[in-house]
Amino acid sequence: MNVSTVSNISKFTLFLALLFQFDFAKAQTALIGEGIRCYAVIENNDTVPIFYLDEVGVTTNMVFKTKRMYEQWTRVKFNVKKVYPYAILASAKLKQYDILLAKIEDEDKRKAFLRVCEKDLRHEFEDELKGLSVSQGRVLMKLINRETGKTTYAIVKELRGSFQAAMWQAFARLFGNDMKAQYEAATEDIMIEKAIALVERGDF
């Protein structure tokens, strides 16, 4: 084993010792004595173990130039925490419907199945969603698009037809909402995206 290889292994062992904050001599004994399995690569005729660590999210606190922006962020966090579970559940159901629908070729049976899907969604979510505010409804539509790749307009059109979709879109417009809106994580919906990260980590 040459000097360069010894140096590389020393750096590797020091890294593990600092990272996990335990005595490396014990870890080395465990590796040899207990035979822990791990991935490895061969470099310069030496076997180098590889350990895959869990992903760690790193975020910084948002800086607000005005009090109004801070209040907007507070509202977005609250709204996301309230409606995100609905978006996840609705997304799971819609994906399940798509899988089952793809297996139905007869048009009449497809229409009958879509009616069943609509009733199922109403039974699951109608009472809870009636209590949402306009802004919470807007966030929910965005999140459904984020999770399913479909706008709420496209979903209503698929379940109830073009006329009903157009009617509900006109109704949504009266309250400043747009059922055709796409989720834009890097631009206009960046606050929603950051709020989702907080909720998923349990920090809010």
- pLDDT (tens digit per residue) in 19-74: 554 444 444 444 445 667 777 888 888 888 887 777 766 666 677 789 998 999 99
Say whether both 122 and 186 belong to one domain.
yes
What percentage of the chain carries pLDDT values higher than 90? 41
Residue 71, CB half-sphere, CA atoms under 13 Å: how many?
A: 3
| Lowest-confidence segment of 24-28, 63-67, 114-118, 164-168 by average pLDDT | 24-28
Say whether both 37 and 119 belong to one domain.
no
62 within a domain of the structure (yes/no): no
pTM over the 0.75 mark: no
- pLDDT confidence of residue 196: 94
Say whether both 46 and 71 belong to one domain.
no
- pLDDT confidence of residue 10: 55
Residues 6+ apart with CB under 8 A from 88: 147
| Cα–Cα distance measured from residue 150 to residue 50, given in angstroms and rounded to the nearest whole number | 40
41 within a domain of the structure (yes/no): yes
Of 95 and 5, the one with more pLDDT: 95
Mean pLDDT of the 120-128 span: 87
Say whether both 38 and 80 belong to one domain.
no
Is pLDDT at 151 greater than 80 in this prediction? yes
| Cα–Cα distance measured from residue 99 to residue 95, given in angstroms and rounded to the nearest whole number | 6
Mean pLDDT of the 134-140 span: 92
159 within a domain of the structure (yes/no): yes
Residues 6+ apart with CB under 8 A from 155: 94, 144, 148
59 within a domain of the structure (yes/no): no
For residue 58 the two structure tokens come to 């790193």
Q: Looking at the 3D structure of the chain, how many domains does it have?
A: 2
Say whether both 100 and 16 belong to one domain.
no
The DSSP bridge partners found for residue 48 are 41
CB 168 within 8 A of CB 179: yes
195 within a domain of the structure (yes/no): yes
Say whether both 88 and 137 belong to one domain.
yes
Question: Which amino acid, residue 180?
Answer: K
Say whether both 84 and 25 belong to one domain.
no
Say whether both 90 and 172 belong to one domain.
yes
Say whether both 105 and 186 belong to one domain.
yes
- pLDDT confidence of residue 43: 84
Say whether both 15 and 110 belong to one domain.
no
56 within a domain of the structure (yes/no): no
Length of the chain: 204
Say whether both 90 and 188 belong to one domain.
yes
Quote the domain boundaries for residue 20.
3-50
Say whether both 71 and 36 belong to one domain.
no
For residue 65 the two structure tokens come to 């130039």
